[in-house]
Amino acid sequence: DLVVRPIPADPPDYSAVDSGYVAVEYRYFKLYIIDIVVVKNKIYNKTIFLNIKKNEKININRKARELELREIEGEGPYVLLDGPLTPYVGWTDRPIVGVSKDPVAPRYGRALGGEAGEWFEEISALASELYAAELLLRGEPYGAMLKPVKVSGLRGTYVKGDSVFYVEFPGHVPEEVVASFFRHGYPVKLRIAHKYARITREYLNTVKTILPRLLGGASNRYRDYL
C-alpha cells in the first residue's frame, strides 16, 4: 500500500515565499527585475535588479530560487515555497517544503522502484505522474500522502489537499508536519504569496514595456500601460 495517513494535526507556524521576474534587454545589457514576496504575519516584498551583459548566459529560475532562499534565511520554524526544490536545491538542513501544483518533470515513480514504481511509471507514461497520484489518493482524507521516496538528497511525495500536490522536503522534517499543512486544503500563506507574485508579474511586464523607452529617451503615455 503506497498511501500513508499521518495522524491529523494542526500546522505549525510557517512562512511562505514566491517570486516573479521579467527580463529587459537594452542595447548591450540585459536587466532582470526579480520581485520576491514573503508572507509571514504580514506580506513583504523585495525587488532585486540583476544586470548582466546581453550575451551572458544565466539560469534565471535557479537564480530566483537562490534569492528566495536567501531572503527567507532565518525564517522559521518552517518555510513553504512555490515549486519543487530540485533541481535547484539538492540537499538542505533547513525546514523548507517545496509545493508544486503542476509538476512537470517525473521524479516519484523512478525513485519508488519495484513493481509499484513500474505501475506508477506506466500510468505516468499514459497521462502524468500527477494523474497516477490522483488515482491512488482518490477518496483519501486531506493530509494523506504517498509513501515518501528519496529524490536527490531530499524526500518527495504527493499529498492530498483540496487537490493533489507534489511536495519535496528534507528528511528531518516529519511526515506529520508536511501533512498538517494540507489538512484544510492548499496552505493559505502560500496561496497569498502565489497571488501577490502573480500580481507582481503583471506589474513587471508593464515595467518591461516602459523601461526601454525611458532609457532611450522616448516619451511615454503611462496611462496606456496601467
| pLDDT tens-digit series, residues 191-213 | 999 888 877 767 767 776 766 66
Return phi, psi of residue 23, to 5°: -115, 130
Return phi, psi of residue 179, to 5°: -60, -35
- Cell numbers describing residue 170: 528534507
Specify the pTM: 0.84
CA neighbor of 78 nearest in space, from 184, 177, 195 = 177
Structural element, H or E, at residue 61: helix 60-71
- The proportion of the chain whose per-residue pLDDT surpasses 70, expressed as a percent, equals 89
* Predicted pLDDT of residue 79: 94
* Predicted pLDDT of residue 13: 93
Residue ranges of the chain whose pLDDT lies below 50: 218-226
Does the CA dihedral 184-69-102-146 come out positive or negative? negative
- Cell numbers describing residue 178: 508536511
- Fold classified for 3-217: archaeoglobus fulgidus dsm 4304 fold (3.30.2170)
Q: Tell me how long the chain is.
A: 226
* Predicted pLDDT of residue 225: 41
* Predicted pLDDT of residue 122: 87
